Amino acid sequence: MNKRRTRIITGIICLIIAVLAYFAERFPFYVYEEEELHTSLQQFFTVEHLVRLLPFLIVIVMTAVSIRICIWIRGFLFPKDQRARKEEKGKGRPVNLKKGKRPLFMTARWIFMIAFSILVMFGGIWFGFTLVGIDFPVLACPTNRDQLIESSCYFLSHLPVLFEEYSAGGIVLFFISTIGFALLLGRTICGFLCPMGLLQDIMHVIRQKTRTEGISMTQSLYRRLTPVKWLMILLMFGLVFAGGEFCSFCPALVTSPVLAGMKVSIYLSGFMMVFVLVGSFFKRRFWCNICPLGYLIGLTHRISPFRVKKDTVSCTECGACYEACPMGIKMIYTEREKTDVTDINCIMCGECVRSCPEDNALALAFAGKKFYTASRAGVMSGFECGSHPEKEME
């Protein structure tokens, strides 16, 4: 009965998403009456540019209000749990925590994410040119023409437009560049380059700084997301044939064009972005778990040179890697035979390696060469041994 009820609920959710995606242009979030205008470097710090950012500012305000409402509702529905958490925070701990040194790999990942997000959103404006004909699977939104790098997601969701506007050579170049980058980088694009990933990680940092409890996902919940992933892929490829517009539903529309200061009308994608940011606040990389393009890129994980390696002898199956993984990949610690534990959902963020307490038990590798390995010393550097506060008082 529970499985049947779960399938019914999942089916209803998928139906609601499909209907909203089809009628996306009927739900305006923010509509500009003027024609599209591209921001130049001279106009970047003007009042006009700030007006163009108004949709994103509205998204931020709505997100903050929504998060506060969610926290209030949770406290209202589960008051005992809230009191227990407050009491737990007030108790002394036998081990005093200190802020450990951030691994070089994590620092590099943040630098890559910030740098590429700035380049794909403002590169065309600042440098005055675009890399025409070079298509990344993600990164830029093609609604904004003043970008340094083009994205392939628009033409993948508008295949009739691709075959109408491109010549035979252009179509071949499009698929070669898109598939080539996907095979070379895999979902490393999601973990290192995607602006949507950067925004989600920022929301995770904000939750940590405010010491707000997140939401723990079980394997059952992750499995229930599978139909949603395939529905999103179906909508991405097929909505245009049914007279719909996936771009007006995709939250990425608010990221690259709007943040770059482009005047573009925002429809259901604005509400979707609020939903994504709120979800990412309570669940790290929430959108990455249902992103259709990310899932398609993940299909190349068997060929991509970026791999997650495991030493099954060193692994003690403590589960720390699974707890740290934002994508909920369980096989990282359950696998006892294979040394390659790269999963289709892995975004190569390195959180599993960072949290592993056993030397060399986990590692990230490129073309067989390990460049980030697990270290007990690295994990323990985040702790400082100390006497129990209650014993000190005695």
Q: 332 in a domain, yes or no?
A: yes
**End-to-end Cα spacing for the chain:** 55
Residues of the domain holding 365:
306-380
Asked if pLDDT for residue 36 goes beyond 50, the answer is: yes
Determine contact, residues 321/295, Cβ cutoff 8 Å: no
Residues 153 and 264 in one domain: yes
Average pLDDT, the chain: 84
Residues 108 and 239 in one domain: yes
The model's pLDDT over 209-219, given as tens digits with 9 standing for 90+, comes to 998 988 888 88
Residues 321 and 243 in one domain: no
Determine contact, residues 188/258, Cβ cutoff 8 Å: no
Residues 248 and 120 in one domain: yes
The model's pLDDT over 116-139, given as tens digits with 9 standing for 90+, comes to 888 888 877 777 666 666 778 877
Q: 271 in a domain, yes or no?
A: yes
According to DSSP, residue 103 is labeled P
DSSP 29-78: SB---SPP-PPPSTTTTSHHHHHHTHHHHHHHHHHHHHHHHHHHHHHHH-
The model's pLDDT over 308-337, given as tens digits with 9 standing for 90+, comes to 999 999 999 899 999 999 999 998 989 888
- How many Å apart are CA 141 and CA 153, to the nearest integer? 8
The model's pLDDT over 83-121, given as tens digits with 9 standing for 90+, comes to 555 555 555 444 444 455 778 899 999 999 999 888 888
Write down the H helix ranges in 102-167.
Answer: 104-127, 153-156, 159-165
Determine contact, residues 283/275, Cβ cutoff 8 Å: no
- Token representation of residue 265: 């009308």
Residues 140 and 249 in one domain: yes
SS3 213: coil
Our CA dihedral for 8, 14, 19, 23, rounded to 10 degrees, sits at 160
Q: 7 in a domain, yes or no?
A: no
CATH code (residue 353) = 3.30.70.20
Burial, 106: exposed, middle or buried (Cβ in 10 Å; 0-12, 13-18, 19+)?
middle
**Among 304, 319, 347, where does a domain finish?**
304
Residues 130 and 180 in one domain: yes
Residues 330 and 287 in one domain: no
- How many Å apart are CA 257 and CA 259, to the nearest integer? 6
Q: 394 in a domain, yes or no?
A: no
Q: Looking at per-residue confidence, does 67 or 147 come out higher?
A: 67
Q: Model pTM?
A: 0.88
